[in-house]
Amino acid sequence: MQQRKITDSVAYVGVDDKTIDLFEGQYDVPNGISYNSYAIFDEKIAVMDTVDARMADEWLANLDAALDGRTPDYLIVSHMEPDHASCVALLAERFPQMKVVGNAKTFTMIGQFFDIDLSARAVMVKEGDTLSLGEHTLRFFMAPMVHWPEVMVTYEEREKLLFSADAFGKFGALDTDEEWLCEARRYYFNIVGKYGAQVQSLLKKAAALDIAAILPLHGPILTENLAYYLGKYDIWSRYEPETKGVFIAYASIYGNTAKAAHALADMLRAKGVEKLEISDLAREDMAEAVENAFRYDRLVVAASSYDGGVFPVMEHFLLHLRDKGFRNRRVAIVENGSWAPSAGRCMRCMLSDMKGIDLCDNTVTVRSACKPETLRELEAAADWLTA
Ligand code: FEO
């Protein structure tokens, strides 16, 4: 049972899910994921979000233990995505007197997801509205598109707690011993990355608050050095590179494109590039490749030609980057083609549609396998990348 005290008045009642195969139907979560839920105890009791239906029984056990026979007065619904809101109807039916707090969009979605009439106990809030629980006061701030349109965050004024919805969350169950940064970054760029402008708006609202702790819907509660986490979100949402270095993403059929990618990596290291990561897109985690593309200031895409275009896994990678708003990076292209190479043209076309991409004019073309002339072209690309 994971019910535990966060402060004298706030309990954690969320759950770890370590059996899910793919989070949101597509993301590998080797260390699982937590669905965070909280309860605030005062004259009135507020439950802050529910959890994925997969973990309903465990969550209800945690909540019941925290309630210890009392009845919640309010359920605050920050986000209607089913990893948090699957149990809204279940809780509403269990506690018929409990009011449900959300904004206009929240209640539209509740009507879409559930067959339950909450009209007599819906508390509709908008930007800046407050709800008193007694000594604790909740103030609501809208955070549309971080990560759905109905998202709102809640600031508890007495203890200065920011219930931040998906923002500042990470992959990984709470009992996983790992740093916040890597899995928070992979989570951010793949899930919220498209909405940098909206994250900036939320950060501006947060900057006006005195925050003692951030309580997200996934991952650990953040209580120390909050400027570090806020600073990372600021860099990421402005689409600025976090790390000076090169990420090489390759898609190789028989290994020759992979050899060219590794040869370029060696040349870059020889020229003083200290931070470099290389990924086989067909075999390694696509979400981590997307994360790395955003993390570094330079990117190399290397792929075989295929069916008059580019090898599909590279096309998928570039589509992910386009959809997540990839921009403002220096990019070099390596293609392979035994006859009529087409990958370079295809990758250039996709990258040209992205904002602020500084594309190397010369595409390195591997004709089947690396030869001395190929290595000379790769050396020129390395020079351009390190100029
Ligand atoms: Fe964790 Fe957007 O749901």
Secondary element (H or E) of residue 124: strand 122-124
Q: Which two three-digit tokens encode residue 135?
A: 């000594």
Give CA 322 to chain center in angstroms.
16
Mean pLDDT of 354-364: 97
> What backbone phi and psi angles, to 5 degrees, belong to 300?
-120, 130
Atom of ligand 1 nearest to the CA of 166: 1
Secondary element (H or E) of residue 108: helix 104-113
Quote the ligand 1 centre to 108 CA distance (angstroms): 17
Q: pLDDT digit string (tens) for 339-352?
A: 999 999 999 999 99
- Gyration radius of the chain's alpha carbons: 24
In this predicted structure, the answer to whether residue 373 has a pLDDT above a threshold of 80 is yes
| Closest among 341, 344, 322 to 333, alpha carbons compared | 344
CATH match for 4-237 among 3.90.1150.10, 3.60.15.10, 3.30.70.380, 3.40.50.80: 3.60.15.10
First CA to last CA across the chain, in angstroms?
Answer: 56
Mean pLDDT of 10-32: 97
Please work out whether the CB of residue 79 comes within 6 Å of at least one atom of ligand 1: yes
**pLDDT value of position 179:** 95
Mean pLDDT of 1-26: 91
Q: Report domain extents, the chain.
A: 4-237, 246-382
Q: Which two three-digit tokens encode residue 104?
A: 């206009």
Say how far apart CA 285 and CA 307 lie, in whole Å: 24
Give CA 240 to chain center in angstroms.
16
Q: Which two three-digit tokens encode residue 242?
A: 């976090």
**pLDDT value of position 4:** 85
Quote the ligand 1 centre to 80 CA distance (angstroms): 8
Cβ(14)–Cβ(46) under 8 Å? no
In this predicted structure, the answer to whether residue 253 has a pLDDT above a threshold of 90 is yes
Please work out whether the CB of residue 170 comes within 6 Å of at least one atom of ligand 1: no
Mean pLDDT of 287-291: 98
Task: State the residue for tokens 């570090």.
Answer: 228
Mean pLDDT of 90-106: 98
pTM of the model: 0.96
Q: pLDDT digit string (tens) for 322-332?
A: 999 999 999 99
Say how far apart CA 189 and CA 83 lie, in whole Å: 18
Give CA 259 to chain center in angstroms.
32
Say how far apart CA 386 and CA 297 lie, in whole Å: 11
Please work out whether the CB of residue 83 comes within 6 Å of at least one atom of ligand 1: yes
Going by DSSP bridges, is the β-strand pair 4-5/10-12 parallel, antiparallel, or unpaired?
antiparallel
Cβ(115)–Cβ(90) under 8 Å? no
In this predicted structure, the answer to whether residue 65 has a pLDDT above a threshold of 70 is yes
* Full strand arrangement of the beta sheet holding 74-76: 4-5, 10-12, 38-41, 45-48, 74-76, 99-102, 122-124
Positive or negative torsion for Cα 367, 370, 376, 380: positive
Mean pLDDT of 181-208: 97
Q: pLDDT digit string (tens) for 120-150?
A: 999 999 999 999 999 999 999 999 999 899 9
**pLDDT value of position 348:** 98
Query: Could you tell me how many residues make up the chain?
Result: 387
Tell the CATH topology of 246-382: Rossmann fold (3.40.50)
C-alpha torsion angle, residues 134, 136, 140, 143 (rounded to 10): -150
Mean pLDDT of 56-68: 97
Residue 387's pLDDT band, with cuts at 50, 70 and 90, is: very high
> Whose Cα sits closest to atom 1 in ligand 1?
166
